[in-house]
Amino acid sequence: MTQNGELFKKLVSHCKEYGFVFPSSEIYDGLSAVYDYGQYGVELKENIKRYWWKSMVQFHENIVGIDTAILMHSKVWQASGHVDAFNDPLIDNKDSKVRYKADQLIEDYIDKLYEKAEKEIEKAKKRFGDNFDEQLFRTTNEKVKKYLDEAAKISNRLTILLDNNDLAGLKALIEELKIVCPVSGTCNWTEVRQFNLMFKTQLGSTADDAMTIYLRPETAQGIYVNFLNILKTSRQKVPFGIAQIGKAFRNEIVARQFIFRMREFEQMEMQYFVRPGTEREWFEYWKEQRMQWHLSLGIPKEKYRWYEHKKLAHYANAAVDIEFEFPFGFKEIEGIHSRTDYDLKRHQEFSGKKMLYFDHDLQESYIPYVVETSAGLDRTLLAVLTNAYTEEILPDNSLRTVLKIPNFLAPIKVAILPLVKKDGMNEYALNIFNDIKKYYLCQYDEKDSIGRRYRRQDAIGTPYCITIDGQTMQDNTVTIRDRDSMLQDRVQVDNIVKYLNDKLNGL
């Protein structure tokens, strides 16, 4: 397994062991690609949501929020094009009867080539020690070059096949690469077919009046169908935006990579309504804004890159993804799309309601164009955790696992720990806890040695630990330990809140 593969495995088990993410319905062996957030996961998720909401709604006086229903009229999804075109190419293995996403099989093949190259690099690193020049080795070692070139060539071919919707070509490539089903080990494949990703359900109590509806696959349509309501009630003028955070559902064929690809997930979306002809300007504006937002999560710049869509969806005149380097490679974390007037126009057509905006400056009516920013909440949380997960060897040779989550996102801000459970230290600590909990989400912990308690807090990313010790009982001072440096300050009890406010900015 590569270093990154190893890291990913550790991260997934850390998330479970420390109450961030659990497999759904685990006592019944789980439900594939569905996850539950535990006590720390939910706090981290809420903090990310709050931060996004603040950045988008509070900091932009021309953006308002909305919370629309998951269930919507089925015509919404006909108008949006999802009923006809929200598909993935799937292929079945005739022997195992297991279904796969055709493009994913090829991507896995490409990943294996990258893994082989990384293995060669790791081996050489060990062999050459300090003298190893990785960059030179990557570009000159024949084996590594062969793996990397082959991976790039297949990747290009895959992009072209997907762009051209060439299903027969996908199957031919799978056969040419001799990709076998991991379950049966055979290459006995069906044709590639398109599979609609929306979950269907029935509305209505009797068979006669039952209507097929869908769980929404994106939150955006809830915004479009409320465009007129918001326009009437908010007094906003173009350009203005509507933001929403909420669940979306997709019957994904490939059910792995943890919370990266789930069947039930959350999106943070904003639709920005602009005057036609100005959409490219706003598209550039939102590209920049959204990249800055991701960087403000304390994640280094080199962990992000742009992916420009070469083939655009029928409704878009520009589209880019922000990709993050997950342990399994660079993958999409947010999409920014210039969606023209496609959605509002289609809803006008299907509903018969005019989706017009009267522009007082121009003295004319038009259907606004839309620039959309669409971020995955779960993917953002995974990016934060990937970046935060750190293993350190301490001077005494012990291993410390610490989540270096930025303070403003940390699930628990402060832990209050009496050094021992006697001499009045625990009562003193409880008093401090009862005071601090009015300001910050904090935890009181008196079980086990102080060292073990510090490790527990490190593992969930708590930025500060307050310890009540023998000296506290004499001079009313406590130590406050910083998670990352492990250094301690001695602080007067009366100054704890001010100290924390300065460090945590009241978050």
Q: Between 251 and 351, whose beta carbon lies closer to ligand GAP?
A: 251
Helices (H), 68-141: 74-80, 82-85, 102-128, 134-140
Q: Is 262 in the site for ligand GAP (CB under 6 A)?
A: yes
Count of beta carbons in the 10 Å neighbourhood of residue 268: 24
Ranges within 216-245 binding ligand GAP (CB under 6 A):
218, 220
Q: What is the crossing angle of helices 167-176 and 102-128, to 10°?
A: 40
Residue 95 phi/psi, 5-degree rounding, is: -85, -50
- The one among 40, 51, 147, 265 contacting ligand GAP by CB under 6 A: 265
Residue bearing tokens 């002809």: 277
> Cα(312)–Cα(340) distance, rounded to whole angstroms?
12
- The one among 21, 291, 333, 370 contacting ligand GAP by CB under 6 A: 333
Q: Is 151 in the site for ligand GAP (CB under 6 A)?
A: no
Nearest to 83 by CA among 196, 218, 249, 217: 196
Q: Between 368 and 418, whose beta carbon lies closer to ligand GAP?
A: 368
Q: Candidates 261-269, 304-312, 413-421, 480-488: pick the segment binding ligand GAP (CB under 6 A).
A: 261-269
Q: What is the DSSP letter of 26?
A: G
Q: Between 265 and 357, whose beta carbon lies closer to ligand GAP?
A: 265
Q: Is 378 in the site for ligand GAP (CB under 6 A)?
A: yes
- The one among 332, 359, 435, 446 contacting ligand GAP by CB under 6 A: 332
Q: How far is CA 486 from CA 286, 393, 398, 402, 501, in A?
A: 39, 13, 14, 11, 19
CA end-to-end span of the chain: 39
- Least distance between ligand GAP and beta carbon 297 (Å): 14
Nearest to 470 by CA among 430, 506, 418: 418
Partnered with residue 491 across adjacent β-strands are 478
Q: Between 47 and 267, whose beta carbon lies closer to ligand GAP?
A: 267
Q: Between 376 and 463, whose beta carbon lies closer to ligand GAP?
A: 376
Binding mask 268-307 for ligand GAP (x = CB under 6 A): -x--------------------------------------
Q: Between 279 and 334, whose beta carbon lies closer to ligand GAP?
A: 334
- The one among 335, 368, 461, 463 contacting ligand GAP by CB under 6 A: 335
> Cα(384)–Cα(460) distance, rounded to whole angstroms?
13
Q: Is 250 in the site for ligand GAP (CB under 6 A)?
A: yes
Q: Is 384 in the site for ligand GAP (CB under 6 A)?
A: no
Q: Is 261 in the site for ligand GAP (CB under 6 A)?
A: yes
Ranges within 104-123 binding ligand GAP (CB under 6 A):
none
Diameter over CA atoms, the chain:
80
Q: Which residue is nearest to ligand GAP (CB)?
A: 376
- Token couple for 428: 């003193």
Those residues with Cβ within 8 angstroms of residue 270's Cβ, 6 or more apart along the chain or in another chain = 56, 63, 241, 242, 243, 244, 372, 373, 374
Those residues with Cβ within 8 angstroms of residue 456's Cβ, 6 or more apart along the chain or in another chain = 445, 448
Total residues binding ligand GAP (CB under 6 A): 19
Q: Between 220 and 416, whose beta carbon lies closer to ligand GAP?
A: 220
Q: Between 43 and 334, whose beta carbon lies closer to ligand GAP?
A: 334
Query: Which chain residues interact with ligand GAP by CB under 6 A?
Result: 218, 220, 250, 252, 261-262, 265, 267, 269, 332-335, 372, 374-376, 378-379
